[in-house]
Structure 1
Amino acid sequence: MNLHSTLLPPHAEMVRAMLDRDTAYEGVFFTAVKTTGIFCRPSCTARKPKPENVEFFAHADECLSAGYRACLRCKPLDAAAIAPDWVHALLKSVDAGPEQRWTDAHLLAEGIEPLKLRRWFKQHFGMTFHAWLRTRRLGMALGGIKQGDSIDSAAFDCGYESLSGFRDAFKKSFHTTPGRAANSEPLLFTRLTTPLGPMIAMAERRGLVLLEFLDRPALTREVEELQNRYGYAVAPGHNLHLQQIEQELAQYFSGQLKQFKVALHLPGSEFARQVWAELATIPYGQTTTYGTIAARLGKPGARRAVGLANGQNRLSIVVPCHRVIGADGSLTGYGGGQPRKAFLLRLESAARQITRQLAF
């Protein structure tokens, strides 16, 4: 069992789902077969292995880092970007009736096990389904306030029966009061699925502000900094920048996109922004070092400071800090984990090589 076993269903339940090819568990776990070195989706139609020859992982990148290869039949790296049908149906119902209160009884009536839903949302959104719903409703209220609605109207429209309850929930979620939020910049976020696990993207009107893997240890601190230092009110939602980065990420992972075009907005110190600007110039499929970046900035002795700013980059992949390696050629640290860094470098190297071959 892997280190993220606390996020996974019980072992016996996963064995049953694997043997029954249960599609309800798509995106919840991956099956890795020790005897073949291959990992699959739960619903893979290939011949099922003996349970004692199997281990389970929460994310596709964990399978890769453990030395397993993706199954050619069920293509689990493609499936990693697909939420199970029962989640799609639920999200569609939420969009159709945003005012509906989803109790456990309502979920069970729809054939959804509340505990399984809780696990899936915690794994893929970093919060429970009910917490996500609550934040979503408050985000709708925030949008109304920004457009000139009164606080009373916003509170009652999103289902709160008392203003005090609405104000308390609003402040807890957005770290500001409804009145001050009218003058703050909304930072909308959405979950994105990738072959390396779920990511969270955040964008305001000027551009993409954050793109991180949900299991990045520094993610909570980064979001709190955006709220407390830069005054953002964070809420679930969509805008053109979030739609664009979702499309561009899919193209990047398929090896088709080598330069992101989505607009960016990078709050930070002047030095940090200089470092991030240098990161953005590292060519696709190539690498550099902290020392080289420091020299380009005219501060050859600032290698450590460059490393610190590199680690503070909030835009994983788009601002390619994964292309920075140690002077000795080692991968060095990476906020998303070294297995992901190795995967990204391999992906870019392979795509670059294919482009060269096609050119001849």
Structure 2
Amino acid sequence: MLTEHLTDDDYYHALVERDAALDGLAFVCVTSTGIFCRFTCPARKPKRENCRFHTTIAECMEAGFRPCKRCRPLLRPGEGDPVIAPLLEALEADPARRFRQSDIAAMGFDPSTVRRAFKRRFGMSFLEMARQRRMGAAVQRLAGGGPVIEAQIDAGFESGSGFRSAVTQLFGAPPRHWKDMPLLKASFLDTPIGPMVAICCDHALHLLEFADRPALPAEIRALRRDNKTGIVTGRTAVTDRIEAELTGYFAGKPAAFTVPLSRHGTPFERQVWQALRAIPPGETRAYLMLATALDRPTAFRAVARANGANRLAIVIPCHRVIGSDGGLTGYGGGLWRKRWLLEHERRMTAGIPASTAEACP
């Protein structure tokens, strides 16, 4: 494939140049806006650290990004298809609608034909795409008050449980043959910089992420797949433990996290995550410094990928990694949170009360 050997730097250069050769073969996801675009989009180009690149629309939507309204990346591949274009128009007009098979039939289309056409074009069915749009709309409403997410997860929804229901759908109902198997338990934890989702078993913490992280849906699916089990809402003793340790952390107590962690990731990723945990609060490292410390000085890109694959925010402090020039690099929870956490830890180690740190932008 044309995109097989391209690096993210190659993609970004093509984006800046509006290279039409990659149109439809790859897409840019912009973390600062939550949208994804074609490479020829006329909008002002985002900063490099805010860009994520995927080669399919399915990957973009599964990562929680919604299509750009200017370049309309969904319509471009479907031009001339009498099945796809009208349904995409209907979805764009009402992205919060709960579409069903009967709605497709009522528009005069055969549901089986629509399913095959969307799978062929986008890698997901129309109903799957509609579900992804509803999830993206829920996150967008949560963030609608400005850059700082309100701690109360219910704010801004038609019903108080709207967002919880949207995220809960990601966990899925476990198949019947899992009925007697241990399930992972998911719970929402409030923090001064926004709600987090903690997923635990009876023995370890498997995932800790901010609830509005664009990649959260894909991470939850990967977690279900890797553990071959289901996820339901609930708590374990591990949930109580990580909640207590997070409370202490945000109160300005410098004690290390001792909650037991699940063993996931490749051997190299685990090596990088261990190096991240060795960075003291109040200090930072560059990707190259981490790679050198691991005796892999040329593997700084692999270190960056392992950093991005971390599913345990704050506990494995990937926010303490910055660019070689001292600038902030991308962070799944948002650069404003990265700034907040670094400033919070600077004040923590300086003995400044946490109440003043909570005023950080």
In the superposition, the TM-score normalised over structure 1's length comes to: 0.54
After superposition, residues 126-205 of structure 1 pair within 5 angstroms as 127-128=165-166, 132=168, 173-174=172-173, 177-183=175-181, 185-205=182-202
Task: Measure, in 1, the Cα distance between the counterparts of 2:152 and 2:148.
Answer: 18
Residue 215 of structure 1 is matched in structure 2 by 212
Instruction: State the secondary structure of the residue aligned to 1:232.
Output: coil
Residue 324 of structure 1 is matched in structure 2 by 321
Residue 222 of structure 2 is matched in structure 1 by 225
Q: Is the 8 A contact 2:148 2:193 kept in 1?
A: no
Q: How many residues align?
A: 216
Task: Measure, in 2, the Cα distance between the counterparts of 1:340 and 1:61.
Answer: 16
Indicate how the Cα distance of structure 1 residues 290 and 204 shifts in structure 2: closer, same or farther if over 3 A, else same: same
**Residue identity opposite 1:299 in structure 2:** R
**Residue identity opposite 1:179 in structure 2:** H
1:286 is displaced (CA, Å) by: 0.5
- Deviations along 1:293-321, one digit per CA (max 9) or x if unpaired, are 11122111110001001000000001000
Task: Measure, in 2, the Cα distance between the counterparts of 1:251 and 1:180.
Answer: 36
Residue 116 of structure 1 is matched in structure 2 by 159
Task: Measure, in 1, the Cα distance between the counterparts of 2:294 and 2:257.
Answer: 23
1:322 is displaced (CA, Å) by: 0.2
Residue 346 of structure 1 is matched in structure 2 by 343
**What fraction of aligned residue pairs are identical, expressed as a percent?**
37
Q: Is the 8 A contact 2:209 2:313 kept in 1?
A: yes
Indicate how the Cα distance of structure 1 residues 201 and 64 shifts in structure 2: closer, same or farther if over 3 A, else same: closer
Instruction: State the secondary structure of the residue aligned to 1:215.
Output: coil
Q: Is the 8 A contact 2:214 2:332 kept in 1?
A: yes
1:266 is displaced (CA, Å) by: 3.3
Report whether the alignment pairs 1:283 with 2:280: yes
Indicate how the Cα distance of structure 1 residues 228 and 82 shifts in structure 2: closer, same or farther if over 3 A, else same: closer
Instruction: State the secondary structure of the residue aligned to 2:172.
Output: helix
1:330 is displaced (CA, Å) by: 0.7
Task: Measure, in 2, the Cα distance between the counterparts of 1:226 and 1:270.
Answer: 17
Higher helix share: 1
Residue 238 of structure 2 is matched in structure 1 by 241
Indicate how the Cα distance of structure 1 residues 251 and 337 shifts in structure 2: closer, same or farther if over 3 A, else same: same
In the superposition, the TM-score normalised over structure 2's length comes to: 0.54
**Residue identity opposite 1:325 in structure 2:** I
After superposition, residues 16-95 of structure 1 pair within 5 angstroms as 58=142, 62-63=146-147
Indicate how the Cα distance of structure 1 residues 62 and 285 shifts in structure 2: closer, same or farther if over 3 A, else same: farther
1:60 is displaced (CA, Å) by: 11
Indicate how the Cα distance of structure 1 residues 82 and 333 shifts in structure 2: closer, same or farther if over 3 A, else same: closer
Indicate how the Cα distance of structure 1 residues 290 and 205 shifts in structure 2: closer, same or farther if over 3 A, else same: same
Instruction: State the secondary structure of the residue aligned to 1:352.
Output: helix
Q: Is the 8 A contact 1:187 1:204 kept in 2?
A: yes
Indicate how the Cα distance of structure 1 residues 253 and 221 shifts in structure 2: closer, same or farther if over 3 A, else same: same
Q: Is the 8 A contact 1:199 1:214 kept in 2?
A: yes
RMSD: 3.1
Instruction: State the secondary structure of the residue aligned to 1:274.
Output: helix
**Residue identity opposite 1:276 in structure 2:** W
